[in-house]
Amino acid sequence: MTTADKLYKAAKKLPEPVVAEILDFARVPAKKMAGECASGNEMLIDMAGGLETSTTFFGDPSEIQQRLRDEWQ
């Protein structure tokens, strides 16, 4: 059994959102191999995805930092 076969077998047992994360992760090396990543002109937000709809990172930066600190206490 190849590694791809093992991955497919394991992925079939997982919930769809987890499989979607695995697929996103797998696309990174594929883009690197195709030379599509990190030419130096991309912004990190463009490569990683946006947080514009995130409730965690919405608002004043100082308030965001305080909320994140409060989570650990």
Domain residue limits, the chain? 3-71
How far is Cα 54 from Cα 46, in angstroms, rounded to an integer?
15
Q: What is the pLDDT of residues 26-70, one digit of tens each?
A: 888 877 777 665 555 555 556 565 666 676 677 888 888 888 888
User: What pLDDT is attached to residue 12?
Assistant: 92
0.85 surpassed by pTM: no
- Record the tokens describing residue 2, joined without a space: 């190849």
- Exposed, middle or buried: residue 51 (CB in 10 Å: 0-12, 13-18, 19+)? exposed
Instruction: Answer for the pair 51, 57: CB distance below 8 angstroms, yes or no.
Output: yes
Instruction: Answer for the pair 47, 37: CB distance below 8 angstroms, yes or no.
Output: yes
